[in-house]
Structure 1
């Protein structure tokens, strides 16, 4: 008879994954930098936008967890056309049926505008090239992009081929493109060749391979040719890549008859910089994606590079004004979030939490408004490289308030959103209120919460109200007579001064026996678009501007600030005084 016994489950010890030591000695300095002591690109500037080529629908699409459907591709294609792209790589028709079908849909349903050229990618292999031309049958104009890798690491370790064998692959690919294109004479064909991993290829060898390809295509005899120089894996500083581009442009044959294109990746975080310096080095054309989607850390972000040109007064020749819509479509089609600090498009890129930043932004904007003729409407604002309004962002995006914010940011919110232009001494007073509230809730404050704190501190003077009163000017001296409620008690006020405010304060001082002095006073009209203040009984037209008055009083040696709003300036200043008194008594 067998005996059955029960045991506690055995818990296997967790095995920690083995990691290689963090050892920099495993890596070597970049080995493919050309000798270019007389480089010229550092002395140049970009004065015109390059030709842009979007590769969102191919390079970007292949890097997605879930590749786009035909419907998503169509939505994306239409967006690229609206933005202004004239060259759009639509896919890899020989790689998948959905890619082939999308090409046919664009062509057969006439979705390609006359001024837009589609581009497709294909490896230098006969059956793939044949399938590619089948997908493009009937197209008006197209770029056929053929490539093979030329880098040393791929020659040695992936293909196990020598220099001549790799070059022969490129030559055969060029001949196959030429032969298939000849079968479709009604289409205007542009040939494009990429020595893939150009940046990791010996500079002289890259030139040799491209020269061999061009000996087949003969761009000097009229064939349109694009030579694309990819930093397939970004492995050097952007200045080294620029040297590679300039070296190539100097040594390649028939440079004047070819278009030099760049395709940079972002492995070192410098794809945009590399592309910009590459244009200085002689490139004519840039491939990239919107928001930089692509393999590993992504492609060069065309949005960033285009907006960089825009911020320097160079027409990017792309319409990025409806940036929020562009970002929404791109992120939905790619199913990828946008980082809140993504340049130009992130939620927080125009946002200042720092008090000193907020103050500088407010002062810059105020200066520009007051000196529009002197500034000639040229944008020059501290901490804001471009005007957010130019890409569809509101000024509410610029300044947001938390416990780190200062008086300038709070003043900016109140001025831009609610019409209150606080004088400096009032900014200091209210910033303390806002900072305390932000610390209490331990988070960013919404604009509505800032307004609520402002109103409850200065504009809701419960128990303090000015009743019937008369103000008379008697030979230069102003006499005030009236009634007011003070802590729920109705009292008579009578005082003298050189104006309505000083005579009212004199009357309050006489009645209370306190030492009252006006320290600061400021006023301004509130734009009709804002709704603060009460109307005079005889004034029913809400389009009339209202007044805001800011009062600072010394009450027995203590400082108190108040604000009043009204359609009447005199009434506004008296209400401001009541606001300050309500905090003092």
Structure 2
């Protein structure tokens, strides 16, 4: 492969400074800004219609977003009409601020202001590229001319905002392709824009630093962000924001390191929809904080409901392996993983019982599961799924979770071989009911009731003792599981020792006596020592 074509020099800060971000910690959520309705929407093969946009907006509000970019009104009539609808019909909650995107062209800025007229408040987001390649190839401009474009655009924003006294208008500025721009030039442009809009601590400018195309490792972006953070003229009058894209697959890491480096705000989308490989996923970022014991300030306790709306609005599926939200992210097929998860869940329950606490309030410590699936609205049913790779621990977990049957260690080994053979033969995963049916077909070979009371009564041990005496064998390790409620099924597992072998039987019935009787007869049948009905 021609790797020599891709040698790139990082536009890193000048020498003579020392980074501090590696010593910082993430101890609070940044300001979350959704760009699903603008950056996400413009990346769709089938952009959202008004109904889908409204559903997305309502979801973002319900999830807790206070800063929502609702469109690029100068780009299309659909975006313009949707923004007008929000601005004029009272559909924006009091604690939510919408923002609208515009390039630095006078006629497009004016069209953008037409869209927000009548809104109580709005942010106008001015954006243009600043990197050398874009300056030379796209604009045909020098660095001074690009600076002039930024200043002229900001001045036009201020003039138009003064004509809208009924709307509280604030500003955002993005030097697009910031990560590829010379740091000194990016700083100069940002300082001039902040000066033009007269940014103050009471009316701050959102300075948004995009990795428009991700080209370097996350630590390079962190250096760039920290250098800006430490050198801006009006830092206390600026909300420092980042907008990572995922071209190298490291948008989440870039965003997290940028916050360590001084960023106050992160722009992204739900599940990472966006141009090319997407924007940073705000769900992943938020739940990374959650899994570290930090309040994410977003409501994601029913992640499947959030996902369903996003998939419907975007007409794109969320990948089964997408962090926290995919169908398979809390699932183990590997036997060693399954065993560790099952033991971890059992240990958590036992510890909660010893301490007299609700298990859902216990500190989460379960191998292979970074969070409790219940905390995002999932259950434990799909945590362990069984195929030819699965082991005895996972199989036992499925049976206990679904039917309350706790297999003894010796039987787990025996039955695991049966399940693995079946899964290999079918070349697919086995569903829990199939595993249960396989257990019954293998170990429960008799369904006759116990004979009339001969002194044993409802005592399962007495039933086993009578059958042992009749057949000259010894039953060992009997285990009864089930509910004591009337009519609820009881399960008995019992082993018979014969010819140096341990053979298991299972009985399931409404009474302890019948369950014991059926388990013993099943064991005898499997061992080949049962002669006729007793």
TM score, norm. by length of structure 2: 0.93
Residue matched to 2:275: 295
Q: Is the 8 Å Cα contact of residues 364 and 382 (structure 1) preserved in structure 2?
A: yes
Q: In structure 1, how many angstroms separate the alpha carbons of the residues matched to 2:375 and 2:124?
A: 36
- Deviation of 1:209 (Å): 0.7
CA deviations 1:54-84 (Å, max 9, x no partner) are: 0000000110111111111111111111111
- 2:355 matches 1:412: no
Residue matched to 1:445: 430
Residue matched to 1:26: 5
- 2:175 matches 1:218: no
Match of 2:339 among 352, 359, 364: 359
- Deviation of 1:224 (Å): 2.7
Residue matched to 1:504: 466
- Deviation of 1:405 (Å): 0.7
Residue matched to 1:3: none
CA deviations 1:358-402 (Å, max 9, x no partner) are: 111111101111111558611111111111122222212211111
Higher relative contact order (CA 8 A, sep 6+): 2
Q: In structure 1, how many angstroms separate the alpha carbons of the residues matched to 2:190 and 2:100?
A: 19
CA deviations 1:518-537 (Å, max 9, x no partner) are: 34333333486xxxxxxxxx
> CA, structure 1 residues 181+94, in 2 after alignment: closer, same or farther (shift >3 Å)?
same
- Deviation of 1:47 (Å): 1.1
Q: In structure 2, how many angstroms separate the alpha carbons of the residues matched to 1:147 and 1:201?
A: 14
- Deviation of 1:141 (Å): 1.1
Q: Is the 8 Å Cα contact of residues 403 and 435 (structure 1) preserved in structure 2?
A: yes
- Deviation of 1:422 (Å): 1.6
- Deviation of 1:328 (Å): 1.3
TM score, norm. by length of structure 1: 0.85
Residue matched to 1:82: 62
Q: Is the 8 Å Cα contact of residues 10 and 220 (structure 2) preserved in structure 1?
A: no
Match of 1:305 among 285, 298, 309: 285
Q: What stretches of structure 2 of length at least 5 have no aligned partner? A: 529-534
- Deviation of 1:465 (Å): 5.4
Q: In structure 2, how many angstroms separate the alpha carbons of the residues matched to 1:574 and 1:141?
A: 76
Residue matched to 1:58: 38
> CA, structure 1 residues 506+220, in 2 after alignment: closer, same or farther (shift >3 Å)?
closer
- 2:452 matches 1:468: yes
CA deviations 1:511-570 (Å, max 9, x no partner) are: xxxxx3334333333486xxxxxxxxxxxx34xx65433212211222211223345445
- 2:297 matches 1:317: yes
- Deviation of 1:431 (Å): 1.3
Report the 3-state secondary structure (helix = DSSP H, G, I; strand = E; otherwise coil) of the residue aligned with 1:212: helix
Stretch of structure 1 that moved more, 500-509 or 182-191: 500-509
- 2:482 matches 1:525: yes
- Deviation of 1:505 (Å): 4.5
Residue matched to 1:421: 406
Q: Is the 8 Å Cα contact of residues 446 and 519 (structure 2) preserved in structure 1?
A: no
Q: In structure 2, how many angstroms separate the alpha carbons of the residues matched to 1:179 and 1:445?
A: 67
Residue matched to 1:395: 380
What pairs with 1:316-395 in structure 2 (closer than 5 Å)? Answer: 316-372=296-352, 373=354, 377-395=362-380
What pairs with 1:226-237 in structure 2 (closer than 5 Å)? Answer: 226-237=206-217
> CA, structure 1 residues 391+221, in 2 after alignment: closer, same or farther (shift >3 Å)?
closer
> CA, structure 1 residues 50+221, in 2 after alignment: closer, same or farther (shift >3 Å)?
closer
- Deviation of 1:467 (Å): 2.1
CA deviations 1:400-442 (Å, max 9, x no partner) are: 1111111111111111111112221221122122112112211
RMSD: 2.0
> CA, structure 1 residues 437+271, in 2 after alignment: closer, same or farther (shift >3 Å)?
same
Rg larger in structure: 1
> CA, structure 1 residues 419+397, in 2 after alignment: closer, same or farther (shift >3 Å)?
same
Name the structure with the higher strand share: 1
Residue matched to 2:506: 563
Residue matched to 1:19: none
Q: Is the 8 Å Cα contact of residues 189 and 224 (structure 1) preserved in structure 2?
A: no
Q: Is the 8 Å Cα contact of residues 426 and 550 (structure 1) preserved in structure 2?
A: no
Q: In structure 2, how many angstroms separate the alpha carbons of the residues matched to 1:246 and 1:294?
A: 26
Q: In structure 2, how many angstroms separate the alpha carbons of the residues matched to 1:456 and 1:576?
A: 13
